[in-house]
A and B are shown apart, each in its own frame.
Chain A
């Protein structure tokens, strides 16, 4: 597709359940980022991939959060034992190359609601 695609756009789950959120970046973009945006806040960095490897996962809040990008394109953010505080919009972004100067393209996000 032309832009960054995220699925599902909305996910409602119960506390304690497992959730997967998918990101399909712009074709050819090697850098992929996950951010989390809580209500009334700006996006907060979670994890950054350069190719298949996680170059920086310092933003993951705890070990319930995990992300993969096995073939260097599509990425999946996985959340185990969800808690109500995980409710937020999860944003994915991609960029060509590894430097900061190129434009970061964002998807529309996956809104997660944990009941």
Chain B
């Protein structure tokens, strides 16, 4: 079984500042990793995913994340945030072993609040 820990429930940041949202996972097998974003009154939307290969993954809206196997982390970063990035961000994991079941285990989410 896997688990995901997002230690920061809220992250306040000023516009144009850099931001990092932390995600750590636990799994006994190799995993796939995902970041989803949920804007107010909207469904979850995929930001980026790590399946294999390069550990630095680039996603939509200027976000990127780096997979670190030794630290079991998949932190999300953006060099300069915008007001429109205000949303809830969820890290999720799926282990290779689930095969076609492909269910995701989500963290509890981090609320990114961008202000002027």
> Which residues of chain A have a CB within 8 Å of any CB of chain B?
3-4, 31, 33, 35, 40-45, 48, 50, 55-56, 59, 91, 93, 95, 98-101, 103-109
Given contacts A56-B103, A101-B49, 8 further A-B contacts (CB under 8 A): A40-B109, A45-B103, A56-B101, A91-B43, A91-B44, A98-B100, A99-B102, A105-B43
Closest chain A residue to B38, Cβ basis: A106
Query: Across the interface, do A41 and B102 meet the contact criterion of CB distance under 8 Å?
Result: no
Task: Report the separation of the CA atoms of residues A91 and B98 in the bound assembly, to the nearest whole angstrom.
Answer: 21
3 nearest A-B pairs in the assembled complex, by CB-CB distance: A42-B106, A100-B102, A106-B43
Contacts of A40 in B (CB 8 A): 9, 108-109
**What is the size category of the interface that chain B forms with chain A?**
20 to 34
* B 84-116 contacts with A by CB, 8 A: 90, 92, 94, 98, 100-109
Query: Across the interface, do A107 and B104 meet the contact criterion of CB distance under 8 Å?
Result: no
Query: Across the interface, do A50 and B32 meet the contact criterion of CB distance under 8 Å?
Result: no
B90 contacts which of A31, A43, A93, A101 (Cβ < 8 Å)?
A: A43
B26 within 8 A of A: no
B45 within 8 A of A: yes
Given contacts A40-B108, A100-B98, contact A48 B44 (CB under 8 A): no
Task: Report the separation of the CA atoms of residues A17 and B104 in the bound assembly, to the nearest whole angstrom.
Answer: 30
B4 within 8 A of A: yes
Query: Across the interface, do A109 and B103 meet the contact criterion of CB distance under 8 Å?
Result: no
Task: Report the separation of the CA atoms of residues A87 and B42 in the bound assembly, to the nearest whole angstrom.
Answer: 19
Task: Report the separation of the CA atoms of residues A105 and B43 in the bound assembly, to the nearest whole angstrom.
Answer: 8
B100 contacts which of A42, A55, A59 (Cβ < 8 Å)?
A: A55
Task: Report the separation of the CA atoms of residues A13 and B21 in the bound assembly, to the nearest whole angstrom.
Answer: 37
Task: Report the separation of the CA atoms of residues A100 and B29 in the bound assembly, to the nearest whole angstrom.
Answer: 15
Closest chain B residue to A43, Cβ basis: B106
B17 within 8 A of A: no
